[in-house]
Amino acid sequence: MLAEYLEGNIRFLPSVDSWEEGIKKAADPLLHNGSITPQYIEDMIGNVNTNGPYIVIVPGIAMPHAKNDGSVVKTSVSYLKLEEPVKFPKDKEVHTFFVLAAEDSTGHLDLISDLSSILIEDEIKNKLEESKSEQEILEVLKMVE
């Protein structure tokens, strides 16, 4: 499920200047294929500014997301891996972004469930972090599904 959604939405970058830019770059594929509007990116950044960096769900990994106020067209996920981690508020370092855009609060639960399976298992999580190409990542994901 997750692999299906991620196909074509995976990016690798050496580094970004700020966490805001990280979120923008990570969400770029979704903006490009029309799954979200620019407003959603603003909302995700605003979410961190108002509520703090709680989207850093495990050390090193952020799941930027926000409430859908008409800014999510289609439930979708994208992935960004940085070679150089970027600092979020409270000095939280992040090298991996999973941008989550959900139409409502139930439709994407299978995606979240897959994502949680991956992050729970240290072995799989490490493999994911070592992956260098979209192909490799999709293969790791298919292992858990």
Q: Which of 19, 2, 18 is nearest to 10 (CA)?
A: 2
Q: Does 30 bind another protein (CB under 8 A)?
A: no
Site mask, another protein, residues 55-84, x = CB under 8 A?
x-xxx---x-xxxx----------------
The residue whose two tokens read 């923008």 is 24
Q: Give min distance, CB of 3 to another protein, in A.
A: 14
Question: Pairing relation of β-strands 10-13 and 76-88?
Answer: parallel
- Please classify residue 72 by burial: count the beta carbons closer than 10 Å to its beta carbon, then call 0-12 exposed, 13-18 middle and 19+ buried: buried
Q: Does 15 bind another protein (CB under 8 A)?
A: no
Q: What is the CA radius of gyration of the chain?
A: 14
Q: Give min distance, CB of 112 to another protein, in A.
A: 5
Q: Does 51 bind another protein (CB under 8 A)?
A: yes
State the number of binding residues for another protein (CB under 8 A): 31
Q: Give every CB contact of residue 106 below 8 A, 6+ residues apart in sequence.
A: none
Question: What residues line the site for another protein (CB under 8 A)?
Answer: 1, 47, 51-55, 57-59, 63, 65-68, 100, 102, 104-110, 112-113, 115-117, 119-120
